[in-house]
Amino acid sequence: MLNETLFVGSSALAKLAELAVRPTISQVVVVADTNTARQCMPLLAPHLPQGHRVIEIPAGEEYKTLLICETLWTELTNHHADRHTLLINLGGGVVTDLGGFAAALYKRGISFVQVPTTLLAQVDASVGGKTGVDFLGFKNQLGVFQQPLAVCIDPRFLLTLDPRQLTSGYAEVVKHWLIADAEAFARNRYVGVLGVDDWTPVIQESVALKQQIVAQDPLETGLRKLLNFGHTVGHALESYLLQQPGREILHGEAVAAGMVCEAWLSYRKGLLSERELEQIESFLFSVFVKVQFVGLETEAIAEFALQDKKNAGSVINCTLLSGIGQGVYDQPITLPEIAESLRYYHRL
């Protein structure tokens, strides 16, 4: 069951319209990137009050920075945005993460609504109250936990996505199955992205699972760490390639590669059976294109895991699987093990 601040379906934007005209709100400002300003604002605009403003930021992970936050804060200041301003973040994970972070810090916090437009943002990035920006090349190095006023998910936005973006978001859906829903994995592992005709039930099921976990551990001190499966190695790979011009990959592509690596680590540690590992690998490679890197880069990629937020001192903590649908968090792994898992992935 979804909580009362999260709306999924074609009526979600009507709920947003109700929030935007509350008498306590002084003005409405939309944050959109160059893509969503063009492709998604036409669907959103009819649900906003007259006089709303749009602040456009560059599109892409490389712009998820403090510098762009400064630009946003400057625009809000120039528009005389006060503490009763409502910020609406229209976009994928970059916009919802950055916009939420900017809202949490502006004048010590203003209300914001997430309107995710990618599958990845709809099932993961916009839900749970995590906000942040990248710093010094490390993913989400700066951030705060700040719950939005609402999350309004309209699957019609997915019609604006190219197949690569849609597939990238599917990685977070698969992650939810692998950590907590073996039945869903068994039911869907022969389907893939192209077999989905209606995304609404997929989104509702995935978001409900995430909300159930987040409700028990909102600040990620324990159980919520399950949601990081695939992200220790995945973030390291994504961060490394982000610093290599022309080799950047999408977040979901990195997470899919990370899930293969971390499933293999689970197998090597005796937590996952060989049959389960084969099932996971077979499904992931049937959906996601293999991320390309050379074997000599594995140690350099692994080094990025030293900045992972789940670490405790010098210990790299990872979420692994004790079976399909059974995630286990705070599993210590080493840099050589990460590098070895990347070499394993490279050989497949």
∠ CA 176-182-184, nearest 5°, is 70
Domains of the chain, CATH where assigned: 6-160 (3.40.50.1970), 164-347 (1.20.1090.10)
SS3 127: coil
Lowest-confidence region among 121-125, 265-269, 273-277, 321-325: 121-125
- Are the C-beta atoms of residues 146 and 129 closer than 8 Å to each other? yes
DSSP 98: H
Res 55: pLDDT:
98
**pLDDT band for position 153 (50/70/90)?**
very high
64-75 as b/e, with b when 16 or more CB fall inside 10 Å? bbeebbebbbeb
- Are the C-beta atoms of residues 280 and 345 closer than 8 Å to each other? no
With a cut of 70, say whether residue 101 has pLDDT above it: yes
Q: Where in the sequence numbering do the catalytic residues fall?
A: 108, 130, 172, 210, 220, 224, 228, 231, 235, 251
Single pTM value for the model = 0.92
Res 196: pLDDT:
82
With a cut of 90, say whether residue 308 has pLDDT above it: no
- Are the C-beta atoms of residues 12 and 154 closer than 8 Å to each other? yes
